[in-house]
Amino acid sequence: MGEFRMPSLGADMETGKLVEWLVKPGDRFKRGDIVATVETQKGLFEVEIFEEGIMGEPLVQAGQRVPVGTVLAVTHPEGAVAVTESTMQAPPGETAGKPSGPLETLSAPAATPPQPSLSAERVPCSPSARRLAAELGVNIEDVRGTGPHGAIQRTDVEMAAHHPAAPAETSVPSPTAPATSGTLQEGMRQAIAAAMSRSNREIPHYYLEMDIDMSRTLKWLEGENLKHPIRERILPAALLLKAVAKALQDVPELNGYWLDDHLQVKPEIHIGFAVALRGGGLITPAIHNVDRLALSELMKAVGDLIERTRAGRLRSSEMSDGTMTVTNLGDLGVRTVFGVIYPPQVALVTFGRIMERPWAEGGMLGVRRCVTATLAADHRATDGHRGSQFLDALDRHMQHPEAL
């Protein structure tokens, strides 16, 4: 017997609200399946499971808010299939008076815990219903949910699309209306503040910066992009991410977590990529295995991640697997960015705007297109010497874009 728990979707998460179960007792699942949706201060997330087996009865019901680590449901090994199916199909009175077997919990109804009031919280909405609303042009805030505790389901969205509310009705506020987007953004700001306060309090930061000549890299990129349609062209951000991944292979101590008072270096390179939301706030989901992706694949992954982040369709693994974070504020004209490490990670790389600058080389003064890369690192895990080696490796890889 196993346990499926409320996941931690970041250092700033203490509790989560189970919005919807996407499997029912007796359903088989495999590694990577989406089994539930969870709402945190940063939005709604699809939660994966990382084993194979059969889902048991839920211990937490839709609408409940519970601490991180709370057991949401028990699970059973795949070998229990035959017994489970016969138990699930037995008539209600057939098993009366019989001693309970180890798998009969799959068909026994769980006691329903007290349900919290949702009047002061944002009404939950399943990811599939949210996607359908976007496709049909339905404002999700105008949809009346008929699911558990007012949750919005696909049928509710379809009904709203065919029978839109009259303007007079939508303009009258309800006394039990869900929390506004302003309330959601306030919660996100509180979550970010909690994580950054912890970072400043617990992590001894050191900062190093380096100007990187991007002239050769951008010239190569311009030539490569001429070979492809506009929709398939690669942006400089993909080159920067791939060069960071290559540099982490050279200096692996910056790729991992500080846990239990020691550094845990991770072999996988999952780079958290900071995405600004249109309504305000910041989320840093991870792009998995950046070092293994070709530039074209990485560009597609970046575009997909930004789109799903802003549409509220992220997976739990994308919020918890990041081994290092990259922030790029160059499109806002910022030259140098001094970031704050996202715990338990031990490093953060930031990039400013690529711009023309005076550049002296070989006794000659010219103008080059350059970017400033800044490393924020945890002094408990590495020191300035190792950090300098990382920036040197980053610069070296950027000068050979054809090898990225």
Q: What is the pLDDT of residue 111?
A: 42
Q: What is the pLDDT of residue 155?
A: 63
Q: What is the pLDDT of residue 168?
A: 34
Q: What is the pLDDT of residue 158?
A: 64
Nearest to 42 by CA among 15, 79, 66, 69: 15
Q: What is the pLDDT of residue 148?
A: 53
How many other CB atoms are found less than 10 A from the CB of residue 257? 19
3-state helix, strand, coil in the chain (%, to 5): 35, 25, 40
Distance CA 106, CA 174 (A): 40
Q: What is the pLDDT of residue 141?
A: 77
pLDDT, averaged in runs of 10, over the chain (404 residues): 87 87 93 92 88 92 93 85 42 39 36 39 66 76 67 69 45 36 65 82 96 96 93 93 98 96 96 85 91 96 91 87 92 87 95 94 93 97 97 97 94
Structural domains of the chain, ranges and CATH numbers in brackets: 2-106 (2.40.50.100), 127-178 (4.10.320.10), 198-403 (3.30.559.10)
Q: Are 323 and 256 in contact (CB under 8 A)?
A: yes
Q: What is the pLDDT of residue 1?
A: 79
Q: What is the pLDDT of residue 133?
A: 78
- Tell me if residue 299 falls in helix, strand or coil: helix
Buried b (16+ CB within 10 A) or exposed e, 79-109: ebeebbeebeeeeeeeeeeeeeeebbbbbee
Helices (H), 181-294: 181-202, 215-225, 236-250
Nearest to 134 by CA among 166, 157, 162, 159: 157
Strand segments, DSSP code E, in 282-382 are 282-283, 286-287, 314-315, 324-328, 347-351, 355-361, 364-378
